[in-house]
Structure 1
Amino acid sequence: MEIIGIAIVILVLITATATISTLLKDGRGHTPPVSSDADWTALDLPSVSYTLRNF
């Protein structure tokens, strides 16, 4: 019975270690670099919300 308990504890530790390792490595090197070529503009959008223009 003790052998089964030890095996379960070892399995849980291995699973937890693998999960934490995967979460820490996830996404590294896969995100594109941030670049801002031009400032954002609203073009021809209204500067006042539609609800305020109704009153």
Structure 2
Amino acid sequence: MYLFSSLVRMLRVWRKYNESLRELSRLGDRELADIGIMRADIQQIAWDAARAD
């Protein structure tokens, strides 16, 4: 049972990561700068957001 719940949690994290990555990647450089994000930081920020939930 633990393995199944771990798998479900990882899938949810992965889905949240992809959603955040997609949303941030759609923003232009100026929009990213306005919110204090560099394009090179998008992947890390997406992972952090996915794991925080």
| TM-score, normalisation: structure 2 | 0.48
Q: What TM-score, normalized to structure 1? A: 0.47
Larger Rg: 1
**Which structure has the highest helix share of the two?**
2
